Structure 1
Amino acid sequence: MWSTSALLFVALMSGTPHRAAAPTSCPVASGGVRMTGGDVYDGPVEENAILVPDSARTMRGTEVSTWDVRTTYAAGRQIYLSCEYASRPKVTIRVSRAVRTCRYSDGRPAKALACR
């Protein structure tokens, strides 16, 4: 078995930097305040190009909306998420890697907006 320090040494010496993947979902909470909603944008939020979900349904009492965003990337544009919190500023996330779908669930106790 390798020790944690040995694994860390090998990783550092391998010459390949390891970077965490960019976030593709809204944080569940911001400053201790839970998420209250979110939107999916075709391009930067400032352009106000909010996408309408391709489907919306209720699953086991939870409202779920889904967006197929492949055409946005095919057109050379990017997806941005706007995450809303009751008494906190909105959080904007640029989805830096191409994804196929984004999904919002109005679950209880927590809401979620994620792309993959």
Structure 2
Amino acid sequence: MNDNPYASCIEACTDCAEACDTCVAACLREDDVKAMTRCIGLDIDCAQLCRLAVGAMTRSSEAAEAICNACAEVCDMCADECAKHSMQHCQDCAAACRRCAAECRKMSGPGGQRARVTSATAH
């Protein structure tokens, strides 16, 4: 995977999806599950979008940039929600989401990996 120009973003998205899955499972075991409803929903959305982004980057899809932009937005939403809760699984998830959002923005932004891949394939 090291030869993939998206390797660091793929790793961050994979780690984030796993952290979100862990958070969902732990939230469902909390005493007040109802209080965790938004967290659980955003965790599920974030994990699915992260996995979609991984697939798009692995295939060097022309949609990878758009998907990663959306992924960064949802990661921010999930991180903000998880950060509101004191449980360690939520704090760990928030950190993974923030790292993923940063990597997705770095990959898809001006001068990011996507720009380098596009210009390399144009030659």
TM-score tier after normalising by the smaller chain length: under 0.3
Whose radius of gyration is greater, 1 or 2? 1
Structure with higher strand content: 1
TM-score w.r.t. the length of structure 1 is: 0.24
TM-score for both structures, normalised by structure 2: 0.23
